[in-house]
């Protein structure tokens, strides 16, 4: 009996396994799913090492936001072990002063009002592009944020601000990579993903309409279909039903 392929789903900032609930259900019959807990870890390298220590010789990686940054560390550290790679709502650029100020202000707000109240502010940031919000998506985002401690939030902000210039990794990625981005993502924009696509030897980018940074919750069925196609279809260059949309 052939064992199922192993797929790691790596969550982003202030997220836990709940963020992958729809994709986990969609992949369950065809893959073994593992979703690591990065609580308290204050470097992307430590997060990547945690996955590699747990993983077998071969596995696939799907990373969202901060989890995408972790995925880039994994493919850089152990490229021979990664079968498939999907990156959603990500960046690869080094830290700049504007980002340092922005991230510091997020921590200051959370520290001043507590994570229970800050969860509402966080959901507002993630869903600000929507005129009419999905209450289930908001509830999920707020609940995940409330489950995180201020210490973990600080640790993950520290991890992000302490990252390397990951654009240096991109030209050396030898396997095809799928990039997925919400059309209305203001945190990790379409143009940002296009820059990443151009630097990876074999990469495809899918832009998802009516989705922001939390694309995996905003358009779960679309994302799940794309993931299944990429992970389980032999020919990665077959066009999916969701054509690339250029950045205006």
Q: Are residues 40 and 148 in the same domain?
A: no
The residues facing 149 across adjacent strands are none
Model confidence at 78: pLDDT above 60:
yes
What's the whole-model pTM score?
0.92
Tell me which residue of 111, 88, 94, 104 sits closest to 185, measured CA to CA: 88
Q: Are residues 127 and 70 in the same domain?
A: no
Long-range contacts of 33-37 (CB under 8 A, 24+ apart): 33/7, 33/9, 34/6, 34/7, 34/8, 34/9, 35/8, 35/9, 35/10, 35/11, 36/8, 36/10, 36/11
In a domain, 64, yes or no: yes
In a domain, 1, yes or no: no
In a domain, 242, yes or no: no
Single residue among 132, 159, 186 that ends a domain in this structure: 159
Helix (H, G, I), strand (E, B) or coil at 114: coil
Summarised one tens digit per residue, pLDDT across range 25-71 is 999 999 999 999 999 999 999 999 999 999 999 999 999 999 999 99
Q: Are residues 58 and 128 in the same domain?
A: no
Domain of 218, in residue numbers = 6-93+163-232
Specify the number of domains making up the chain: 2
The arithmetic mean of pLDDT across residues 5-15, rounded, is 97
In a domain, 239, yes or no: no
Summarised one tens digit per residue, pLDDT across range 197-246 is 999 999 999 999 999 999 999 999 999 999 999 999 855 554 444 444 43
């Amino acid at each position: 009996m052939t064992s199922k392929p192993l797929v790691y789903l790596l969550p982003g900032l202030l997220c836990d396994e709940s963020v992958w609930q729809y994709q986990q259900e969609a992949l369950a019959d065809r893959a073994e799913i593992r979703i690591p807990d990065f609580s308290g870890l204050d470097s992307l390298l430590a997060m990547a090492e945690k996955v590699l220590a747990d993983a077998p010789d071969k596995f696939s990686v799907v990373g969202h936001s901060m989890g995408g940054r972790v995925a880039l560390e994994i493919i850089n550290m152990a490229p021979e072990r990664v079968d498939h790679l999907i990156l959603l709502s990500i960046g690869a650029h080094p830290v700049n002063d504007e980002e340092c100020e922005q991230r510091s202000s997020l921590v200051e707000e959370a520290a001043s009002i507590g994570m229970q109240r800050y969860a509402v502010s966080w959901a507002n940031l993630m869903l600000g592009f929507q005129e009419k919000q999905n209450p289930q998506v908001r509830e999920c985002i707020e609940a995940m944020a409330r489950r995180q401690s201020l210490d973990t939030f600080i640790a993950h902000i520290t991890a992000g601000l302490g990252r390397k210039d990951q654009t240096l990794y991109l030209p050396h990625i030898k396997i095809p990579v799928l990039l997925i981005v919400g059309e209305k993502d203001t945190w990790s924009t379409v143009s940002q993903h296009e820059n990443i696509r151009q630097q990876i030897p074999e990469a495809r980018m899918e832009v998802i309409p009516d989705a922001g940074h939390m694309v995996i919750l905003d358009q779960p069925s679309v994302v799940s279909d794309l993931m299944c196609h990429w992970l389980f279809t032999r020919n990665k260059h077959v066009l999916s039903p969701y054509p690339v949309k250029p950045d205006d």
